[in-house]
């Protein structure tokens, strides 16, 4: 008998095939699998889920034999880590393997915003080229980049931005020793000293809405906000107001509150490039993330500590 596991959201077919080979996989996202899932709840011993989706405490309580929650991502904001630990459940993530792709996505959004890539695409397709003018973009070279949250991904973003000739500064909650970039005293001080502000801080209770109306005002009417962290770290009311009234110049956004049903106000926000949470979404990285999910679940069933346990 293959052990029962729960798959909360879709993973790439290659990874799902590997899961199916070793386990009886109950898919939470498949409405047709609901009855079988209900019947299997007492037997489920492992969960695989996404960073943006996690697993609620309500669900954890439905699974008495649960021993591991394998997050296919690095964000732990959607799993209550102490709650899981108190039930002897290991929570694992996929550190390291997605750093470069998420940083690349931030760069793509920054250049997309500075150079009007999405607007240009729509302009060409609409046959407007030659009929009306197209706005000049802005060069990243010589611009001040503020990185809000200087972890692994923040550093990878900064290294890339240096190649574009940007001047880097950052704010981080705890001091960062291994950098020569300038540290700013607060998110507002960072925004005041930045032309582009990239948010890549871990989401938790302390960082909720850390980018608020004051930070956006400090960024200013030419400033560009890039969010590759989580929707919860930006006050979306303040952001939408700032985009619409010109308090900031534009934004490149990969993450939102209530994904995938984001606020429709984003659809009409000016000078804004939107991506559907694609930071780690490359074939190469999703294979590497999948391998870690598989290894963590396999370790649990082998009676070993899952290798990338975080709680």
Which secondary structure element, helix H or strand E, spans residue 4, and what is its range? strand 4-7
Annotated active-site residue in 26, 45, 169, 277: 277
Cα(224)–Cα(142) distance, rounded to whole angstroms? 15
Of 74, 215, 292, 294, the one binding ligand 8YV by CB under 6 A: 74
Beta-carbon count within 10 A of 245 CB = 10
Provide the residue count of the chain. Answer: 311
> Interface mask (CB under 6 A) for ligand 8YV, residues 38-67, using x and -?
------------xxx---------------
> Interface mask (CB under 6 A) for ligand 8YV, residues 254-283, using x and -?
-----------------------x-xx---
Tell me how far, at minimum, the Cβ of 226 lies from ligand 8YV, in Å. Answer: 16
The answer to whether residues 256 and 263 touch, using CB atoms and an 8 Å cutoff, is yes
Annotated active-site residue in 230, 236, 286, 300: 230
| Tokens read off for 263 | 């606020």
Which of 69/219 has CB closer to ligand 8YV?
69
Tell me how far, at minimum, the Cβ of 144 lies from ligand 8YV, in Å. Answer: 27
Cα(179)–Cα(311) distance, rounded to whole angstroms? 28
| Tokens read off for 200 | 């890549």
277 is catalytic: yes
Which secondary structure element, helix H or strand E, spans residue 49, and what is its range? strand 46-50
Beta-carbon count within 10 A of 153 CB = 27
Asked if 72 is part of the footprint of ligand 8YV (rule: CB under 6 A), the reply reads yes
230 is catalytic: yes
The residues that touch ligand 8YV, with contacts defined as CB under 6 A, are: 9, 50-52, 72-75, 98, 277, 279-280
The residues carrying an active-site annotation are 230, 259, 277
């Amino acid at each position: 008998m293959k052990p029962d596991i729960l798959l909360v959201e879709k993973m790439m077919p290659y990874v799902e095939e590997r899961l199916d080979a070793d386990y009886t996989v109950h898919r939470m996202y498949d409405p047709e699998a609901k009855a079988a899932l209900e019947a299997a709840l007492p037997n489920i011993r492992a969960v695989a889920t996404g960073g943006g989706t996690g697993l609620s405490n309500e669900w954890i309580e439905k699974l008495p034999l649960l021993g591991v929650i394998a997050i296919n991502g690095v964000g732990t904001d959607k799993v209550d880590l102490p709650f899981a630990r108190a039930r002897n459940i290991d929570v694992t993530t996929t550190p390291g393997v997605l750093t470069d792709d998420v940083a690349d996505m931030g760069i793509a959004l920054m250049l997309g915003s500075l150079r009007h890539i999405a607007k240009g695409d729509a302009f060409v397709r609409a046959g407007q080229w030659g009929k009306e003018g197209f706005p000049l973009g802005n060069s990243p070279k010589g611009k001040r980049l503020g990185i809000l949250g200087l972890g692994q991904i923040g550093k990878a973003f900064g290294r890339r931005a240096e190649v574009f000739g940007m001047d880097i500064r950052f704010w981080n909650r705890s001091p960062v020793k291994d950098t020569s970039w300038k540290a700013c005293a607060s998110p507002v001080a960072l925004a005041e000293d930045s032309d582009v502000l990239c948010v890549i801080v871990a989401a938790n209770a302390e960082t909720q809405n850390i980018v608020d109306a004051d930070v956006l005002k400090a960024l200013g009417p030419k400033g560009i906000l890039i969010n590759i962290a989580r929707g919860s770290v930006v006050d979306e009311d303040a952001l939408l107001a700032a985009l619409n009234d010109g308090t900031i110049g534009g934004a490149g956004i990969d993450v939102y509150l209530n994904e995938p049903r984001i606020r429709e106000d984003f659809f009409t926000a000016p000078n804004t490039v939107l991506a559907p949470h694609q930071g780690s979404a490359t074939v190469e990285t999703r294979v590497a993330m999948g391998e870690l999910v598989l290894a963590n679940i396999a370790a649990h069933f082998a009676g070993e500590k899952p290798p990338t346990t975080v709680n």
